[in-house]
Structure 1
Amino acid sequence: MGAEDNRKEQEPGLLDLKTLKVISVIGRGAKGVAFLVRNEETGENLALKVILKALIEKKSKENGDKEDGSSVYKRIWFERDVLKSFQHPLLPRLRGFVETDKIIGLAMDYCPGGDLNSLRKKQTEKMFSDEIIRFYGAELVLALEYLHGLGIVYRDLKPENVMIQENGHLMLVDFDLSTKLSAKSPEPRQILRLNTTNSETKSITYKRSLSLFHCFGSGISHVDSDSCFTESRDTTSQSPDSMSTCETEKSNSFVGTEEYVSPEIIQGNGHDFTVDSWCLGVVLYEMLYGRTPFRGANRKETFFRVLVKSPELVGEQTALRDLIGKLLEKDPTKRISVEGIKGHDYFRGVDWESISQISRPPFIPLRPERDMQGIKAIDVELFVHGIFADEVVGSIKGSVNLDENNKKKDEDDKEVLVEALKNSSKGPDFSVF
């Protein structure tokens, strides 16, 4: 009983916006702005994802929602509840939430190492080595396995949504496109081997790869996260059914990021946990080759390639290329599952129980040199409204007739944003969103 009471005391609750000091602007997305803030009461640094209510309501009306954004609010509350449920070292915790008459904010763990896409693009050839792909790939598999055990289909796995924690381990973020299905039961481990004599020599045991991670020159070059912008990628989201809390077997939502979306989502035949295996295949391909496998000149061409084109796995046959091929199987009923991935030859020798506890991952971010005292005082509500003013003109009645002092403050905040975003490593399609 005491343990249960203690857990309830630690559950995140409503935060007072006045106690959150803005240190910097991390980036912006389609629905809001992300800030690095310090909780003045606890001294903790947090990532605060702030969403403008007026923008939610405006977009909902444009989409024919007659209930003032109920479907979009469902997504926000779903993400809040999902974050509250996580107890895993590779997934974020909800540290509290903010709600006023103008904004909704979710406070969560802050990752100072930037995202996996920025880190990859800082490498000499914009690609990772086989050993580093194995480490990051294994952590992604563990995170997906945990989500599936909770009945959560992630549906938006991409490097921009994979952050680097202070300890160098990965963290998946952004769950507003996720959905809930019946929890997936663990499958018997199937050991998959290659039909090639080269596989054994190419596959490195976990202990051998660990020695590489302890070296300073492990193949990961240091990232100055303030000087790298990610590529802009379109995120597709149609149909609010991703917020259903009790679906039986499949979802029919059309969601995801176009270069990572699976064939079954494009076809609209319903999808399940195997969409995450497809996304993992695209991410591993991108880490290996420095590009995604199906990108076309436009969305139509990209979707056509996803449906009919086989991935070009250039190079000698290796365990990694074999795994990518099995992940990018167009037929979801034949696609390798998470349990099958863990038993694949590429991950032979990996100690799945301890990999997330490694003390020296490939890249550990340096402590930021930025002024942790924070930029000048920002009114978060006015700040976010200023960014999306053109999209919600007249939507916030109190903001249209601001007095002169507030108008000046709004302009000052916008100037700060422009300067902050110049120094941000996140592009318009910021990973938190």
Structure 2
Amino acid sequence: MGDDQLAVLDIHQLEIISYLGRGARGVVFLARDKSSNGELFALKTILKVATSTNKHKKIDHNDSSELSEIHFEQKVLRVLQHPLLPKLRGILATKIITGYAIDYCPGRDLNYLRKKQTERMFSVDIIRFYAAELVLALEYLHNMGIAYRDLKPENIMIQENGHLMLVDFDLSTKLSPKLPSSEERSIILEKSPLLPKSNSKPPMKKRNNNRLSLFCCRHDFPIQDSVHPAESEDHISEPISTYTITSSFSKTNSFVGTEEYIAPEMLQGNGHDHMVDFWCLGIVLYEMLYGTTPFKGINRKVTFYNILSKTPELVGETTPLRDLIRKLLVKDPKERISMVQIKGHEFFLGVDWEKILDIARPPFVPGPLDENGMDVNNIDIEGFVKNVFEANVDCDVDKEKEESDGFLIF
């Protein structure tokens, strides 16, 4: 989408409904543009001074363009054409902040939804539905040469129609598209009727209740108020902030992510590629099944040690889901299960990959949004964002001091 087709937002024409939460680099608000049709959108804002002076920022020597994180994220959002990924709906720029508008997801995030379930865990059938949609979203990104690199429940939103939306591309990077091996190509040929066409936009039909039987899902979630969460009370995941953007080649040495979800190859510093997303997928599935992540320690150093040396405890009888998690959490990325193998795994037996997005009644569909009950809050978003980033600078200094012992020297 070119700039001439993209709405330029005027900060004086914005109605800020509420503060929604924080991404890896930005502050997100629920807003609407008074000068347009009045539809709600999520407005992600970043302090300009923070992007230009971020002491953590590291640019790859192979990248002569030296694009900032925010510019890369906007570039990604401009080209995404998939119903499980956001669309860029407008851009904002003032002397103090820069930002952009994307689709608003009223169902909150997957972490919030999990906590509303009995024992704070999902059933296997519901995990299968959400896992399948995550696989489709990652497949689309990998085919575009994008490694997502920050897959976690807080970045997995629930759309108005109940389908997922993967958001927050702050830590993503451009790599060469992931090409299948000769063995995988033979599997693709064998299973081609079940694979989606990666070069076309998957359909999103509104009416097809019969498709729900693909996953044996029940519509047994409570209907919640329709807002994004601000920071969770007991699961605040702060991303690690050493960032690089690469040119189009097979691996990068940058160190990014959220500590409980970081792949071993990233900690080892030997270069990583798209396979880090499958490690993160394994962590997310584990968390959906057990209600906790598998390697979390009492501090970052212990967590990283566990990631590098411990085997995840898959308590319970051997099942296809536990087997899939085990194969995703293989420490050597060369031995980790691939995209083709994931889609052909026993856990997804019977799933028609072409028809997942046709399902009209996913496990949880948010209740209708009562816009009449929304009050416009007079939030000074420039001042709000400035305060958040100034607080982050102080926290970053403390973290650097705490980690100066040299644990991350490989």
Give the shorter-chain TM-score range.
0.7 to 0.9
Tell me the alpha carbon deviations over residues 1-46 of structure 1, each in whole angstroms, 9 at most, x when there is no partner: xxxxxx7598424222222211111123564321100122122111
Q: Distance between the aligned counterparts of 1:30 and 1:88, measured in 2?
A: 22
Q: Distance between the aligned counterparts of 2:186 and 2:136, measured in 1?
A: 14
Tell me what 2:238 maps to.
234
1:97 is paired with a residue whose SS is: strand
- Match 1:188 to one of 168, 185, 189: 185
Q: Distance between the aligned counterparts of 1:381 and 1:16, measured in 2?
A: 13
296-305 or 14-23, which moves further after superposition? 14-23
Tell me what 2:81 maps to.
87
* Greater Rg by CA: 1
| Residue 150 (structure 1) aligned with residue 154 (structure 2) | no
- Match 2:40 to one of 38, 42, 45: 45
User: 1:380: how far off?
Assistant: 2.1
Tell me what 2:249 maps to.
248
**RMSD over aligned Cα, in angstroms?**
2.7
Q: Distance between the aligned counterparts of 1:208 and 1:99, measured in 2?
A: 43
Tell me what 2:291 maps to.
290
Q: Is the 8 A contact 1:147 1:154 kept in 2?
A: yes
User: 1:391: how far off?
Assistant: 6.3
* Residue type of the alignment partner of 1:128: F
Q: Distance between the aligned counterparts of 1:85 and 1:48, measured in 2?
A: 18
Tell me what 1:427 maps to.
none
Q: Is the 8 A contact 2:253 2:266 kept in 1?
A: yes
48-57 or 377-386, which moves further after superposition? 377-386
Q: Distance between the aligned counterparts of 1:325 and 1:383, measured in 2?
A: 43
- Match 2:11 to one of 14, 17, 25: 17
Tell me what 1:363 maps to.
364
Tell me the alpha carbon deviations over residues 228-279 of structure 1, each in whole angstroms, 9 at most, x when there is no partner: 64611231121x42x22x2311010011111100000000010011101100
- Which sections of structure 1, spanning at least 5 residues, go unmatched? 1-6, 192-205, 394-433
Tell me what 2:54 maps to.
59
* Residue type of the alignment partner of 1:52: L
Q: Distance between the aligned counterparts of 2:390 and 2:308, measured in 1?
A: 39
- Match 2:114 to one of 120, 124, 127: 120
Q: Distance between the aligned counterparts of 1:391 and 1:313, measured in 2?
A: 36
User: 1:124: how far off?
Assistant: 1.1
User: 1:368: how far off?
Assistant: 3.5
1:376 is paired with a residue whose SS is: coil
Tell me what 1:381 maps to.
382
Tell me the alpha carbon deviations over residues 333-352 of structure 1, each in whole angstroms, 9 at most, x when there is no partner: 01001111000011011111
Q: Is the 8 A contact 1:55 1:391 kept in 2?
A: no
Q: Distance between the aligned counterparts of 2:151 and 2:4, measured in 1?
A: 29
Q: Distance between the aligned counterparts of 1:174 and 1:383, measured in 2?
A: 20
1:36 is paired with a residue whose SS is: strand
1:105 is paired with a residue whose SS is: strand
Q: What does residue range 20-419 of structure 1 map to in structure 2 within 5 Å? A: 20-29=14-23, 31-40=25-34, 41-60=36-55, 74-186=68-180, 187-188=184-185, 190=187, 209-210=213-214, 212-213=216-217, 215-217=218-220, 220-224=221-225, 229=233, 231-238=235-242, 240-241=243-244, 243-244=245-246, 246-369=247-370, 373-389=374-390
User: 1:373: how far off?
Assistant: 4.6
2:306 is paired with a residue whose SS is: helix
Percent identical pairs in the alignment equals 56
Q: 1:127 to 1:333 in 2, by over 3 A?
A: same
Q: Is the 8 A contact 2:212 2:359 kept in 1?
A: no
User: 1:56: how far off?
Assistant: 3.0
Q: Distance between the aligned counterparts of 1:314 and 1:357, measured in 2?
A: 34
1:378 is paired with a residue whose SS is: coil
User: 1:209: how far off?
Assistant: 4.0
* Residue type of the alignment partner of 2:384: F
User: 1:52: how far off?
Assistant: 1.1
Tell me the alpha carbon deviations over residues 57-78 of structure 1, each in whole angstroms, 9 at most, x when there is no partner: 4433x7699xxxx999611000
Tell me the alpha carbon deviations over residues 295-349 of structure 1, each in whole angstroms, 9 at most, x when there is no partner: 1111111111111111111111111111111000011001001111000011011
Q: Is the 8 A contact 1:120 1:287 kept in 2?
A: yes
Q: Distance between the aligned counterparts of 1:392 and 1:294, measured in 2?
A: 27
Q: TM-score, normalised by structure 1?
A: 0.77
1:136 is paired with a residue whose SS is: helix
Q: 1:190 to 1:310 in 2, by over 3 A?
A: farther
User: 1:389: how far off?
Assistant: 4.9
Q: Is the 8 A contact 2:24 2:168 kept in 1?
A: no
* Residue type of the alignment partner of 1:259: E
Q: 1:327 to 1:376 in 2, by over 3 A?
A: closer
Q: Distance between the aligned counterparts of 1:268 and 1:48, measured in 2?
A: 34
1:236 is paired with a residue whose SS is: strand
Q: 1:123 to 1:71 in 2, by over 3 A?
A: farther
In the comparison of the two structures, how many residue pairs are matched? 362
Q: Is the 8 A contact 1:28 1:34 kept in 2?
A: yes
Tell me what 1:195 maps to.
none
1:43 is paired with a residue whose SS is: coil
Q: Distance between the aligned counterparts of 1:105 and 1:333, measured in 2?
A: 38
Q: Distance between the aligned counterparts of 1:157 and 1:254, measured in 2?
A: 14
1:249 is paired with a residue whose SS is: coil
Q: Is the 8 A contact 2:15 2:376 kept in 1?
A: no
Q: Is the 8 A contact 1:112 1:166 kept in 2?
A: yes
